Amino acid sequence: MNGTSSRIVIVGAGIVGASIAYHLARQGQRVIVVEQAHPAAGATGSSFGWISEGVPEGAPDAFLRREIVADWVRLTQEIPELWVNWSGALSYGQAPATQNPDNRRLSSAEVMALEPSLGLLDSQAYFAARDGAVDPQEVTQRLLERVGALGGELLLGRAVSGFLREAGGQITGIVTEEGAIAAERVVLACGTGISALLDGSEFSLPIEASPAILLRYHAAAQAVNTLIAGDDIEVRHAQNGDLLAAEDYPAGGDVKRVEEDARSAIQNRLHGSAPLQLQACSVGLRPRPRDGYPILGPLGVTCLYVAVMHPAVMCAPTLGRLVSDELLHGVNPAIPHGYRPARFIDDGGEGGDIIAIAGRFALDTAQPPLSLYPYAPVYKIGEHVLKRTRPTSGEAQALAAYLTALRRQGVDVVAPTACPQEIAGSMWVVYPFVAGEKYAGRDEQIIAAGRLLGRIHALSSADNNAGLAVYDEYALTEDDISADLDEIASHAASQGLTLDIEALKTRMLQIAGRQTALSARDLPCVETPYDFKADNLIYVAQDRPVLIDPDNALFLPRVFDLALVLLLFHNALDSAPDRVFTVREWRLFLTGYGESVALTAGEVQSWHQAVEHLFLDEVLWLMADFADGWRDPRQTALFFSLIGLLDNLSDYGLTP
C-alpha cells in the first residue's frame, strides 16, 4: 500500500485486533473492526494480564517478548489514560526458566519487605522489577475508543460467515448476515475462530483452543503489593482492588473444584488476608498454533492476513506495531520467517509443478501460467509474477527485506507481494507484474536508468545492513579461463566466425593476475540489485523505469556494479541496440547517476581495472555458457562489441 489510505477490515475485537486497528488508524488508515459479540469477549476477557520479558531464549515468542516492555511504555505515552501497573513480579517454587538479568534472587528479608503477607518461604524467591500487569478488557476498550476517534468503525454483533469473492474467486472482503464488506485487506485476529472461518477456503491453519481459568475475588483490603507467581498461587490486584487469580483448566473440567482449591491456597499462603468473595469465574479459550509459534503474515497473495499467538495480551502492542507496518509497507523483515503461515500450507507433494507452487501463494491459475523467460523459471500468473529466487531461506528473506526497504524510500523497484516460500527444495517468491514499455535506447531512457541506479546506490548502507550475499569472485584460475575460451572458440567456429582466441587469452590472464591486488583495494561497497540491465527494466513513463528482476542483489564495490552496466546493459533485449553503450550514451547514463552519487578518487583510479575484472568474471562466462547466443546475429554482434570495448576502454571514463 505504501502509505496510501485503504480500507482494512479486522475480524475480531480482542486485544490483538484492537491493537492492530489502533496502530493502523493512527497512521491514517480506514479501519473497520468486525466482532461477533462485544470487545474482549473471547480469550482477552479471561486473561490474567501479566507483562513479562522473562522467557527462555529458544521459546516460540522469545523474539516478541524482548520488545514488549518498550512497546507497552510507548503505548501508555500515546494513550495516557491507559493503566499499566509496573509493580514487578515475585516468583518462587522453581528457578526462573530464563536468564533475564532483571530477575534477581531475594533474601528472606527482601521478600518480607516486598510482600509481608507471604511469610517465610521454603524455596528461593526471585523478583523481576520490570514486570507489570494490565486489565486486558480495559486496554482493548481504550484502543477501540482511539480507533473510533481516528475515524475507524466498530461493528459489534456481526458474525463473519465467509469471504466476499470476485467472479474469478479472488477474495475482496468479508460476508456477514447483515451484508458484505469490501476491503483491500482483511486481517483475521479472531483467535480460535480463525480455523472455522477458513474452513472451505484454500487455506487451513492448525489453531488449537487451550482453556484457562481467571478468578476474580472481592478483597476487603490489599493482600499483595506485586504480582505473585508461585507453585501454589498466581495472584495480583486489579485496578479496582479486586484480587485476580490465574489457574490451569482441569482435565476433568471441574471448574468449581478448582476455584475452591485456589481460594484455600490463597488464604493459606497470604497470612492475615481477609476472606475472599468470588465475583466472577471465567474460562478463556486461548488460541495456540499447533507448533507453539505465532502465526503472523499474509495467506499467499490474497488480501487475507493472519495474526494469532499465545500469549497475545502481553505481546499486543508489539504485534500491533509489527503487523501494521507490514500491512502498510510490505514484507516486514522484523517478523521472523518461522512465524509465517506458509509453514502450514502444504503443496500436496507436487513440488516442481508450477500450478501447485502457484497454489501455495493462492494465485488464480484459471489462465495457464505464461513463461516470461526461456532460461529461468519466471511465470506471469494474472497480475503477478512467480519466480524462483535466492537459493536459501536466509538469502531470500534478506532480499525481500532489502527490496521492501527500497520501495518504502520511493525507489521504483518491485518488492515481494507475499513472503518467500521454500517449495520442493527451492525458494519461490511473487512480485507484482509491471506493465509498460521496453527500453529502446533513447537518450531520456538512458539518463533515467542512470538516475535509478544512482538512487539505489545512494540509499545503500556502507556495512551491508541488509545482509545480502557478498561478492567474492577474485580467484579465477588459468584453467577456468582456458576452459571458457575453448567453449567460446567452439561456438564461434560453429557459426563460421573468427576470433583471435590467443590474444583474448593473453589479455584475460593479465587481468586475472591483478585479481588479488584489486580485491585488497579499499573501494566503497553498496547493496545493489547488481544485474542492472535494460531487460530488467520496464518504463512506466519515458523518464521512469521500474526494476523488475532484482533477485541477484549483492553487496559489492560500487564501481563493479557500474562496470557491469557498461558491459551488459544491452544484453539479451531485442529492443536494445546490439552493442555496448557508445561513449556519448555512457556519459548520459553517468549524468543521471551523478544526480545522487559522487564517486571517490579511488574509484576513478580503479575504474578500468574494475571493468576488465567484470569482463573476466561475467562476460567471459556469458560468452562461453550462452551457446544459443552465438546463433543469434544480434547477440553475436554484442559479443564482438564487448571484445572491441576492451581495446577502447580508455574512452570510457567516469565523468559525464
Three cell numbers at 536? 530488467
Residue 413 has pLDDT above 50, yes or no: yes
Instruction: Place domain 443-651 in its CATH homologous superfamily.
Output: Aminoglycoside phosphotransferase (APH), C-terminal lobe (3.90.1200.10)
Summarize the confidence of residues 144-163 as an average pLDDT.
Answer: 97
**What number is the average pLDDT over the span 503-515?**
96
Supply the pLDDT for residue 352: 42
- Rounded-to-integer distance, Cα 257 and Cα 286, Å: 21
Model pTM?
0.71
- For 530-542, the pLDDT digits (tens) are 989 999 999 999 9
pLDDT at 350 over 60: no
Yes or no: say if 213 and 248 are a contact pair by the CB < 8 Å rule: yes
What percent of the chain is helix, strand and coil (3-state, nearest 5)? Answer: 40, 20, 40
Residue 84: pLDDT band by 50, 70, 90 thresholds?
A: very high
Taking the CA atoms of the chain, what radius of gyration do you get in angstroms? 31
The neighbouring-strand residues paired with 571 are none
- What's the grid cell of residue 193? 475462530
Provide the pLDDT confidence category of residue 2 given band limits of 50, 70 and 90: very low
Please report the pLDDT score of residue 366 as a whole number: 76
Burial 441-475 (b: 16+ CB within 10 A, else e): beeebbbbbbbbbbbbbeebeeebebbbbebeeee
Q: Residue 373: what pLDDT?
A: 72
pLDDT tens track for 604-640: 999 999 999 999 999 999 999 888 889 889 999 999 9
- Provide the pLDDT for residue 349: 37
Amino acid 119: pLDDT: 79
- Judge whether residue 66 has pLDDT over 60: yes
| Torsion angles phi and psi, residue 281, rounded to 5 | -135, 120
What is the CATH number assigned to the segment(s) 356-432? 3.30.200.20
541 beta partners: 544
Please, are residues 198 and 300 in contact by the beta-carbon 8 Å criterion? no
Residue 99: pLDDT band (50, 70, 90) is low
Residue whose C-alpha is closest to residue 456's, from 405, 495, 498: 405
User: Are residues 515 and 474 in contact, defined by beta-carbon separation less than 8 angstroms?
Assistant: yes
Q: Residue 43 has what pLDDT?
A: 97
CATH code given to domain 7-314? 3.50.50.60
Say yes or no to pLDDT of 168 above 80.
no
Q: What average pLDDT does range 339-363 have in this prediction? A: 72
Half-sphere exposure (Cβ direction) of 33: Cα atoms closer than 13 Å: 35
Query: What does the angle CA 450 – CA 404 – CA 362 come to, to the nearest 5 degrees?
Result: 120
**How many residues would you count in the chain?**
656
Enumerate the domain spans of the chain: 7-314, 356-432, 443-651
Choose the weakest-confidence range: 6-10, 72-76, 166-170: 166-170
3-class DSSP assignment, residue 177: coil
Q: What is the pLDDT of residue 100?
A: 62
3-class secondary structure per residue, 260-324: HHHHHHHHHHCCCCCCCEEEEEEEEEEEEECCCCCEEEECCCCCEEEEECCCHHHHHHHHHHHHH
* Beta carbons of 525 and 439 less than 8 angstroms apart: no
Closest C-alpha among 341, 297, 348, 547 to residue 432: 547
| Predicted confidence (pLDDT) per residue in 479-495, tens digit | 999 999 999 999 999 89
Pick from 193-207, 353-367, 632-646: least confident: 353-367
- Candidates 295, 394, 275, 409; CA nearest to 344 is 295
